[in-house]
C-alpha cells in the first residue's frame, strides 16, 4: 500500500501541477500577483511531493515523516484551491464541501497507511 501512496505522490501531484500550469500560464499576467504566488506555491508542493514519493520508494529513514507533511500540504492545497483561488477551476458550484471532504478522507487514509507501514 505504501508503494501506491509513493506512486501517487511521485506522479499525481506533479502531473496535476503541470496541467494546471499549462492551462494558466498564458493568462498569468492578467490574473495578477496572487495567481503567480499561488502557482509558485503549488509548484513547490508538487516538487516536494515528487521528492517524498522517491523517499518512500527508496525507504529513506525520514520518508514517512516527510510523507505525512507532504500529504497534509497536498490536502491543504486542494482545499485552498476550492475555496480561495486566483486560478481557474473546473469545480461545479456547490460541490466544494463534498470534494474537500473527499480530499481530507483520502489524505487521512494515506497518512494512516504510511504511518502503519513502519
Q: How many domains does the chain have?
A: 1
pLDDT (0 to 100) of residue 92? 80
3-12, 79-88, 100-109 — most confident range: 100-109
pLDDT (0 to 100) of residue 118? 65
Q: Note the pLDDT tens digit of each residue in 36-56.
A: 999 999 999 999 999 999 999
Q: Between 63-83 and 33-57, two packed helices, what is the crossing angle to 10 degrees? A: 150
Q: Which domain holds residue 95?
A: 2-116
Task: Identify which of 72, 74, 87 has the alpha carbon closest to the alpha carbon of residue 28.
Answer: 87
Report CA torsion sign: 80, 37, 74, 43: positive
Average pLDDT, whole number, for the chain?
A: 91
Grid cell, residue 42, equals 503549488
pLDDT (0 to 100) of residue 107? 96
Asked if 72 and 45 touch (Cβ cutoff 8 Å), the reply is no
Asked if 104 and 75 touch (Cβ cutoff 8 Å), the reply is yes
pLDDT (0 to 100) of residue 90? 74
pLDDT at 72 over 90: yes
Grid cell, residue 32, equals 495578477
| Distance, CA of 105 to CA of 91 (rounded, Å) | 19
Task: Identify which of 15, 17, 6 has the alpha carbon closest to the alpha carbon of residue 41.
Answer: 17
Amino acid at each position: 500500500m505504501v508503494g501506491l501512496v509513493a506512486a501517487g505522490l511521485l506522479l499525481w501531484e506533479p502531473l496535476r501541477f503541470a496541467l494546471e500550469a499549462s492551462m494558466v500560464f498564458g493568462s498569468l499576467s492578467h490574473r495578477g500577483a496572487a495567481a503567480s504566488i499561488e502557482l509558485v506555491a503549488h509548484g513547490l508542493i508538487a516538487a516536494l511531493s515528487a521528492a517524498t514519493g522517491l523517499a518512500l520508494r527508496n525507504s529513506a529513514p525520514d520518508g514517512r515523516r516527510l510523507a505525512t507533511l507532504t500529504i497534509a500540504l497536498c490536502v491543504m492545497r486542494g482545499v485552498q484551491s476550492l475555496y480561495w483561488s486566483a486560478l481557474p477551476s473546473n469545480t461545479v458550484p456547490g460541490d466544494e464541501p463534498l470534494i474537500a471532504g473527499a480530499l481530507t478522507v483520502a489524505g487521512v487514509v494515506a497518512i494512516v497507511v504510511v504511518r502503519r507501514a513502519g
